[in-house]
Amino acid sequence: MKEKIIVGISGASGVILGKELMLQIKKYSDVEVHLVYTKAAEKTYMQEQKESITSLHDLADKVYDNENISASIASGTYKTKGMIILPCSMKSVAGIACGYSDTLLLRAADVVIKEHRKLVLGVRECPFSSIHLENMYKLSQMGVVILPTVMSFYQQPDGLASCVRHIAGKCLDQFDISSDDMNRWEG
């Protein structure tokens, strides 16, 4: 049976990162993409991408309704490699940090933590408040990977698309999926 990664998209800015992530998983691995996105992500996607988030459905092996709290990924018995939330809002960070699992995205993250699987949060806010930082610190101490969606310049990006590819590739490194769409530092 194929391995599975849950991709969560929340309503933070930078929803194109979630799309790029799914494209790279398909390109560089044999892993199934299980997609869940929030109501706010639907709005942010429309605002930023000028199309419906449903355009992402073709990139996923399975798409879940965020209200369907009884879906497979709500249970630890359903085996996955883990979950990447990209982009991850501060509201979702807060929900996860408190174990407040009232949606499928939050419950799936809760399950990933309790089963000691890998959870990567591509967090996005600017600036961070003490509340945000405290929540991220708490999660980091539990082994959750806090991966800020910040640009880096050492790889000589030739534009925004290059930065987007790099951030998605950094997330995949956490799952040992090696992307050639990012420029690695060779010294």
Residues that bind ligand FMN (CB under 6 A): 10-13, 38, 40-41, 43-44, 47, 89-92, 124-125
Beta strand residue intervals within the chain, DSSP E: 4-9, 32-37, 62-64, 82-88, 118-123, 145-146
Cα 31 from Cα 46, distance rounded (Å): 27
**Cis bond leading into 148, ω under 30°?**
no
Q: Which residue, 121 or 172, is less far from ligand FMN as judged by CB?
A: 121
Q: Which is nearer to ligand FMN, 31 or 144 (CB)?
A: 144
Considering the complex, state which of residue 11 and residue 18 has its C-beta at the smaller distance from ligand FMN.
11
> CA-CA distance, 108 to 4, in Å (whole number)?
13
Closest approach, Cβ 102 to ligand FMN, in A, equals 10
The distance of closest approach from Cβ of residue 178 to ligand FMN in the complex, given in angstroms and rounded to an integer, is 28
Q: What is the smallest separation between the CB atom of 96 and ligand FMN, expressed in angstroms?
A: 10
Closest residue to ligand FMN, judged by C-beta, is: 11
Minimal distance, residue 126 CB to ligand FMN, in Å:
7
Closest CA to 144 of 104, 175, 177, 113: 113
HSE-CB for 51 with a 13 A CA cutoff: 8
To the nearest whole angstrom, how small is the minimum distance from the Cβ of residue 47 to ligand FMN? 4
Backbone angles phi, psi at 85, to 5 degrees: -105, 115
Give the CA diameter of the chain: 48
